[in-house]
Structure 1
Amino acid sequence: MKDLTLALLPLLAAGCATTGADVPVVPTTPAASVQARGQTDAVGTANADAADDPAIWRNRADPAASLIVGTDKKAGLHIYDLTGKDRFFIDVGQVNNVDLKDMGPLGVIVAASDRNDRKNAKLALFRLDTAAAKLIPLGTIPVGPGEAYGLCLYRSGATLHAFNVIKDGTIRQVALDLSGATPSGTIVRTMKLATQSEGCVADDRTHRLYVGEENAGVWRFDARAGGAVEGKTIASVDGQKLVADVEGVTLAPEGEGNGGYLIVSSQGDHAYSVYRLSDDSYVGRFRIAAGSTYGATEETDGIDFAPGDFGPTYPDGLFVAQDGYNPPYAQNFKYAAWADIKAALGIE
């Protein structure tokens, strides 16, 4: 949730953030700078905090034909191509977070947290028609009381699970059944964080779930349906390495086992904090700074990363971040190359 006014953006862009008491602090932990290599068209809702969360589908056969699904949380879902062109929009109302998984014969399944009814959370499901770049609605699934906020998908074998993060910090794990004419879901487990939470990501390789508690930090849970419901804090909001609000979280998997990195949106100072998945250790921070072609990102909500070859502009992986301040246009999403981020952080 954005708790900073546009009037503060010039101050914050210089590296200053605010604590819960609105006392300005300047993080002493430096943030490296990278520049965006692309951006999307703006979302349709102008003059509002509207763009929120991206999800990347990589076309293995033709990387240039890869697609990005992005939410306009006031209106619906967009599909963008790698040039940033808005290829498709579907009006499904207030959907906040989005994720996708390639489920083989079932196709690429897209899920979004549906908060059209703020008192009763729902999960909206779609199939991504990758050839036509469009979304085919499959239906909605009720997932209990409260406001649907965060969402991420987790695949365990042939079973697809959705984690719905309710705004009050409740986390519900839903086992999805996509075999029928309309999808259904069963809540198999519930976890709870103390305060408002949103961003989440699940690692299919290690069966770990990471959830951002906005004013506290990042938690790690066992993602398996039979796992313990207690979580462990792996990164705390300290105003230095991680500045509230904690927003989007994503994985940059590398190698076998638990190799790679966790990337977290440190919204309060327009940066992204990076942690090593193998031992939760802090790696560094970076910002997407203004360049000659594309602007900086500020007040980022959702982020996503996908490894692999996306063509000559993004040869080693693609990072996508929501941009909360994109004048003179409405909010949009910026694209950055993983190769640039790794070089800026000095990691191999």
Structure 2
Amino acid sequence: MTIRKFVPALALLATACATAEEPVAVRIARAAPAATLQARGETVPVGTANADAADDPAIWRNAADPAASLIVGTDKKAGLYVYGLDGKVRDFNDAGRVNNVDLRDMGAAGIIVVASDRNDIANARLVVFRLDPATAKLATLGSVAAGNGEAYGICLSRRGNALDAFMVVKDGTINQVALDISGGGVSGKIVRTMKLGTQSEGCAVDERSDRLYVAEEDVGLWRFEAAAGGSRTPVKVAPADGRHLVADAEGVAIAPVGERGGYVIVSSQGDNAYTLYSLEDDSYVGRFRIAAGIVGATEETDGIDLVTGDFGPAYPGGLFIAQDGFNDAGAQNFKLVAWDDVKKALGL
């Protein structure tokens, strides 16, 4: 997250174009209309209060007992939380400065959770855990070197029994790391490196099309071929144009529909919204905001995640989670939204 500072009106008048220093109300007024919906739940706030701390969620869906699904979320000052769908803390791992997180159910190998480790800002690392679905506990498997620079974004891609991690370094470098979790620990190697021009973070992989989507914060949304042997040249999906996508472009999530269709969702942090683009042709689909209701609204969202499917009575069609940068409780948390509510609001 980029912390925005409001500046005096005279300074704004001296600026010839829209900037990240504008009050959020100005950015909202300029942006395209957004549908409004409400979250159905929220997590307990992270332990680091009065700071930019909560950052990124990852969802594990329990197919056998959907209401027993779990959420992993980062406190980037302290470590990783595991929450139930009721928002209560089930576990905490004091992994330190872990920024983003993703997970994959690898079958016999277990539920593998990978976080971007920025404890050493000069050397990016991946820290790898196994999540026990019965106890909701995280067991540390080890860490893997992931290139030079400050670890920032992370997303995973599974191909059969193979697991790749995409480490997005703060300067826009993207290192693809092939992970080996076949033994008792974990190892890995960088198999490909790609590059965007400026600070980047959020990413997600559509495993059906083998496409990697990455948000370059002040520039827009890009996609790459995700296969290790694929092209390293990015294709721009959408610019951060101040209308459909307002900088910073932050978290990224995939909403699959059928064999090839669906949406890529991006946190339009600059105007507290979320923007959808088509996975088939990159076209703009719509936008929404999360307003106050039984729980608070979301603002300045960093990480997001979405998993479709049954999550029990409250989330029967899927679960969307967004980090809330200004939670009323004083410490940041994560808001839980029914994917059905998003689809209804946007007429999907």
Question: What interval of TM-score do these two structures reach, taking the shorter chain for normalisation?
Answer: over 0.9
**Helix, strand or coil: the match of 1:240?**
coil
Distance 1:275 1:105, change over 3 A: same
- Partners of 1:20 and 1:325 lie apart in 2 by 17
* Alignment counterpart, residue 198 of structure 1, candidates 194, 197, 201: 201
CA contact (8 A) 2:4 2:21 kept: no
Deviations 1:114-170 (A, max 9, x none): 000000010000000010001000001111110000000011222100000000000
SS of the aligned residue for 1:185 comes to: strand
Letter in 1 for 2:311: F
1:93-104 matches, cutoff 5 A: 93-104=96-107
Matches within 5 A, 1:1-348: 1-5=1-5, 19-20=19-20, 22=22, 24-25=26-27, 26-256=29-259, 258-291=260-293, 293-347=294-348
Residue type of the alignment partner of 1:107: G
Letter in 2 for 1:19: T
Given that 2:61 and 2:311 are in contact with CA atoms closer than 8 Å, whether structure 1 keeps it comes out as yes
Q: CA deviation at 1:180?
A: 2.2
Separation (CA, whole Å) in 2 of partners of 1:159 and 1:152:
14
| Structure 2 segments unaligned to the other structure (5+ residues) | 9-17
Measure, in 1, the Cα distance between the counterparts of 2:168 and 2:97: 15
Q: Deviations over 1:229-261 (max 9, x none)?
A: 0010001011000000000000011111x2111
Q: Tell me: CA distance 1:343–1:178, structure 2 relative to 1, closer, same or farther (3 Å).
A: same
- Residue 15 of structure 1 is matched in structure 2 by none
**CA shift for structure 1 position 70:** 0.2
- Classify the secondary structure of the residue corresponding to 1:33: strand
1:271 shift after superposition: 0.2
Q: CA deviation at 1:19?
A: 2.1
Q: Alignment partner of 1:105: what SS?
A: helix
Q: Tell me the secondary structure at the aligned position of residue 30 of structure 2.
A: coil
Q: TM-score, normalised by structure 1?
A: 0.94
**Which 5+ residue runs of structure 1 have no aligned equivalent?**
9-17
Greater shift in the superposed pair: 155-164 or 66-75 = 155-164
For 2:5 and 2:341, the matched residues in 1 are separated by 30
Structure 2-normalised TM-score?
Answer: 0.94
Look up the equivalent residue of 1:163 and give its one-letter code: F
Write the letter of the residue equivalent to 1:188.
Answer: V
C-alpha displacement of 1:203:
1.2
Contact 1:253–1:259 (CA under 8 A) maintained in structure 2:
yes
Amino acid at match of 2:269: Q
Residues 170 and 191, structure 1, Cα contact 8 Å, conserved in 2: yes
SS in 2 for 1:2: coil
Contact 1:19 1:239 in 2 (8 A): no
Distance in 2 separating the partners of 1:179 and 1:315: 34
Question: Distance in 2 between the 1:198 and 1:91 partners?
Answer: 22
Q: 1:280 to 1:29 in 2, by over 3 A?
A: same
Distance 1:208 1:136 in 2: 30
Letter in 1 for 2:345: A
Letter of the 2:308 counterpart: P
Count of residue pairs the alignment pairs up: 337
- Amino acid of the residue matched to residue 314 of structure 2? T
Distance 2:81 2:300 in 1: 20
**Partner-residue secondary structure (3-state), 2:155:** strand
Distance in 2, Cα, partners of 1:71 & 1:21:
27
2:88 and 2:6 mapped to 1: Cα distance?
Answer: 27
Matches of 1:309 and 1:82 in 2, distance apart?
Answer: 12
Name the SS for the 1:341 alignment partner: helix
